[in-house]
A and B are shown apart, each in its own frame.
Chain A
Amino acid sequence: MLWRLWDSDGVYAFRHSPAAIIAASVAILILGGALFAPWIAQSNPYDLSSFSLIDGLLPPVWQEFGDPRFPLGTDDQGRDMISAILYGARLSLLIGLSAMVIATVLGVSLGLAAGYYGGRFDAIVMRIADVQLALPAILTALLIDGIARGILPPSSIENLRVVVLTIAIALSLWVNFARTARASTFVERNKEYVQAAMIMGQHPLRVMFIHILPNIMGPLLVIMTVDLASAILLEATLSFLGIGLPADSPSLGTLIRIGMQFLLSGEWWILWVPTLFLVALVVSINILGDFLRDTFNPRLR
C-alpha cells in the first residue's frame, strides 16, 4: 500500500524535484516550529511577565552587546526574537489556513452550484463575486471588524480580533475559488458521467460533491496553496495599514509592522528576522503550489 503511494506519479515527481523537496522541508520545519512553539520557545510573548523591557533592543548574539540568552536578539519590548517569530508563525499560519479553508468551502460551494444550475443563480453569484472584488480587502476587514464591534460586547472584541481578521481575509479570497469551480463545473456538467448521474435522478448535491468535485480538485488545490500564501501576506499588509492584529498578539505581519519602525534605527534584526522568516514561508508554499500545478497538469511536463 505504502509502496504504491511511493510509486505513484505525484510522489515520483516530488522525489525528482529538488526545489519541491527543499520547499516542503522548509514549510514542514516552520509548521513544526509553529505547532510546537509553546514547547520550543524559551519565552511566551503572550505572557507579559516572561520578558522585561530591561532586555529591550539587544542585538543578535554575534554582534557587540549580543546576549547568549537571545540568539537573534530582542525587540523593543525585550521579547526574544526567536520566540516571537515562532509564536508569530503560529498565529499567521492559523489565520492563513483557516481563512483558506473558509474561502475554499464558501467559494467552491457557490461556484459548483453556479456552474451546475447556471442561469439566474449563476448570474447572482457572479454579481456578488463582482461586488466582493470591487471591495478592497482592507475594506472588507474594516467592515467585518465594524460589524463585530456593533454586535459583540466590548470586552470580547479583542479576543475575537483573530477571528474577525480571518473572516475578512477569507471573504476577500473566496471569489477565486468560486470562479474556478464554476468554470470547471461548466465543462464537467456536459460530460457523460455527470449527465448519466443526473438522468439517474441523483440528488444535485450528490452530483456536485461526489461526482463533479473530485474531478475539478486539481486547479482548486493549486489555488489553495497560492491563496494560503496570499492570506499570510494579506494579514501582514493589513497589519501594516494598522487594521490587523494588536501588537500584543504578534503575528508575523504585526512583527514586521513593528519592525518597520526600526528600519533605519540600526536595530535591523527587529524588521529583517521576521521578514526573512515570512518570505521563506511564503516562497516555499508558492513553490509547492507550482509543483502541484505542474503535477496536476501533466501536459505541461
Chain B
Amino acid sequence: MVYFILKRLIQSVFVMLAVALIAFSLFRFVGDPVSQMTGVETSVEDRERLREDLGLNDPFALQFYRFSSDMLRGDFGFSYRTRQPVSEMIATRLPATLELGIVSLIISLLVGIPAGVFTALRPRGFATQAILLTTLVGVSIPTFVIGIVLIFLFGVQLGWLPTFGRGGTTDLGGWTTSFLTVDGWRSLILPALTLGVYQLTLTMRLVRAEMLEVMRSDYIRFATARGIPYRKLHFKHALSNTMIPVITIIGLQFGGVIAFSIVTESVFQWPGMGLLFLESIRFVDIPVMGVYLVVIAFFFVLVNLLVDMLYILIDPRLRVKEAS
C-alpha cells in the first residue's frame, strides 16, 4: 500500500510537470503580453525594453526552467496585468471556485441519487421516462445557454435571485465563504445549478444503471424471497452496493467540475479561478495562466490518487493483487 502510494506520488509529480510544460509552451501563442501591458502611446523601444525585462526574449527552455524552478521553490511570480503576486490572486479566488464546485456536486447527489433509484425501481413508468428525457435535454443544451436562461428567468423576470457575483461573503482568515449569509446562499443557487446539471444527469444514470444491475443479482433475489421489506431492500442492500462506482466517477468528475466552471463563472461573473483564468487569457497574463493550470492539474492528480486508494481500501481483491 505504501509502495503503491509512493509510486503514484512520484508519477503525479511528473504529470504536473508535464502539464506545466505543455501549458507553458502554449503561452507564447496566446498573444503578446507587452502590447496588452502598455498604452497606445508607448514607444516601440519602450515596448522592446519591457519585453526584454520580462525575459520574453529568452529562449523557451530558459523561460520554462525559470518558471518551473521558481514554482518548485514556492515562488509563483507576479501577474502581468495587476502586478500582484500570483499566489495571492489564486488564493483569493480559490474559495469561490471550490465552494461553487462542492455545492453543485451536492445538488447533483441530492437530486441525482434519489432520481436514479426511483427510475430504476419503476423502469417503465411515465415519470421515469419524463425524468430521463428532461435530464437528457438538460445535458444537450450548452452550459452557457442554460446559465443565461436561468439568469433571465430567476434573476430578471421573477426577480428572486441575484444575477451575478457571490453576494454577501464572510472572511474567515483568508477564506471568503458564501455559506454564512443568506445573500451568499442566494447567489450560489443559479451558478451551482448550471454547473450541476451535467453531474446530476451523470449521477442519476449511473445510480440507475447500477441499481438495475444489483436488483437482478442473486443475493437481492434471495433477500426478496426471504421476505425482507422492499424499502429496506432497496435502500440498505441495493443502494449501498451501487455506491462504489458512483463515488469513483463523482470523485473523478470533481476535478472536471473545477476546470469546467470556467464557462459558468464567466456567465455569472463568479469571482473564482475560472473567471480569473479567462481574464488572464484575454490579457495574456502568462504567470497567472501557468499557475492556474498547475493548480488544476494538482486537483486532478490528488483526486485520482484518492480514488485509487479508496478502491484498494474497499475492494480487498485489488489489495491482494497489488501485494503480489
Q: Which residues of A contact B (CB under 8 A)?
A: 19, 123, 127-128, 130-131, 133-136, 138-139, 142-143, 145-147, 149-150, 229, 233, 236-237, 240-241, 253, 256, 260, 263, 275, 278-279, 282-283, 286-287, 290, 297, 299-300
Q: Which residues from chain B contact A233 at a C-beta distance below 8 Å?
A: 140, 142
Range of interface residues on B (Cβ < 8 Å): 35 or more
Contact A138 B29 (CB under 8 A): no
Question: Can you spell out 8 A-B residue pairs with CB atoms less than 8 angstroms apart?
Answer: A130-B301, A131-B15, A134-B16, A134-B255, A139-B23, A139-B26, A143-B22, A283-B137
- Compute how far the CA of A115 lies from the CA of B217 in the bound complex, rounded to whole angstroms: 28
- Minimum Cβ distance to chain A for residue B16 (Å): 8
Chain A: CB-nearest residue to B145: A275
Contact of B209 among A237, A260, A300 (CB under 8 A): A300
Q: Which residues of A contact B170 (CB under 8 A)?
A: none
15 further A-B contacts with Cβ under 8 Å, apart from A136-B260, A286-B139, are A19-B129, A134-B16, A134-B293, A135-B297, A142-B30, A143-B22, A147-B26, A150-B29, A237-B142, A240-B144, A256-B142, A260-B148, A275-B142, A278-B142, A300-B209
In the assembled complex, B18 has its CB within 8 A of some CB on chain A = yes
A139–B24 Cα distance when bound, in Å, is 11
Cβ of B212 within 8 Å of any chain A Cβ, yes or no, is: yes
Tell me if A146 and B28 are in contact (CB < 8 A).
Answer: yes
B281 within 8 A of A: yes
Chain B residues close to A by CB (< 8 Å): 11, 14-16, 18-19, 22-23, 25-26, 28-30, 129, 132-133, 136-137, 139-145, 148, 152, 209, 212-213, 216, 255-256, 259-260, 262-263, 266, 278, 281, 293, 296-297, 300-301, 304
Residues of A within 8 A of B18 (CB): 127-128, 131
Residues of chain B lying within 8 A (CB to CB) of residue A135: 19, 22-23, 293, 297
B266 / chain A contacts, CB cutoff of 8 Å:
241
- Contact among A128, A136, A282, A297 for B140, CB-based, below 8 A: A282
With A133-B300, A300-B213 as contacts: A279 and B260 at CB distance below 8 Å: no
Is the Cβ of B300 less than 8 Å from the Cβ of A134? yes
B262 surroundings in chain A (CB, below 8 A)? 136, 138, 241
Contacts of A279 in B (CB 8 A): 137, 140-141
Taking a contact as CB atoms under 8 Å apart, the answer to whether B136 and A286 are in contact is: yes
Given known contacts A237-B143, A275-B141, A283-B140, A147 and B22 CB-to-CB distance under 8 angstroms = no
Q: Is the CB of B141 within 8 A of A123?
A: no
How many residue pairs between the two chains, A and B, have CB atoms under 8 Å in the bound complex?
Answer: 108
Shortest distance from the beta carbon of A255 to any chain B beta carbon, whole Å: 12
| Residues on A with beta carbons closer than 8 Å to the beta carbon of B141 | 275, 279
Identify whether the interface residues of A are mostly helix, strand, loop, or mixed: helix
Ranked nearest first, the 5 interchain pairs of A and B with the lowest CB-CB distance are A146-B29, A282-B140, A134-B297, A143-B26, A134-B300
**Residues in chain A near residue B148, CB distance under 8 A:** 260, 263
- Please pick, from B11, B137, B142, B259, the residue contacting A136 in the complex, using a CB distance under 8 A: B259
B133 to chain A, nearest CB (A): 8
Interface of B is mostly: helix
Q: Which residue of A has the minimal Cβ distance to B209?
A: A300
A134 contacts which of B25, B140, B296 (Cβ < 8 Å)? B296
A146 to B132, CA, bound (A): 40
A128 vs B301: C-alpha distance when bound (angstroms): 12
B146 to chain A, nearest CB (A): 11
B14 touches A240 (CB 8 A): no
Question: Shortest beta-carbon distance, A142 to chain B, in Å?
Answer: 6
Q: Is there contact, CB below 8 Å, between A142 and B256? A: no
B144 CB contact (under 8 Å) in A145, A146, A229, A237: A237
Nearest Cβ distance between residue B268 and chain A, in whole angstroms?
14
Partner of B278, one of A241, A263, A299: A241
User: Closest approach, in angstroms, between the C-beta of A73 and any C-beta of chain B?
Assistant: 19
Chain B residues whose CB sits within 8 angstroms of the CB of A275 once the complex forms = 141-142, 145
- Assembled-state Cα–Cα distance A151/B23 (Å): 18
A19: chain B residues at CB < 8 Å are 129, 133
Distance of A241 Cα from B301 Cα, bound (Å) = 26
Contact A127 B14, beta carbon cutoff 8 Å = yes
A145 in contact with B29 (CB, 8 Å)? yes
Task: Check B142 against A130 for contact (C-beta < 8 Å).
Answer: no
| Nearest residue, chain B, Cβ from A136 | B259
Q: How far is the CA of A147 from the CA of B266 in the complex (A)?
A: 26
B31 smallest CB distance to A (angstroms): 10
> What is the minimal beta-carbon distance from A279 to any residue of chain B, in angstroms?
5
Q: Give Cα A240–Cα B139 distance, bound, in whole angstroms.
A: 17
Q: Are B19 and A134 in touch, CB under 8 angstroms?
A: yes
Is the CB–CB distance between A134 and B301 below 8 Å?
yes
A143, B213: Cα distance in complex, Å? 42
Q: Report the separation of the CA atoms of residues A139 and B19 in the bound assembly, to the nearest whole angstrom.
A: 11
Minimum distance in angstroms from B292 CB to a CB of chain A? 10
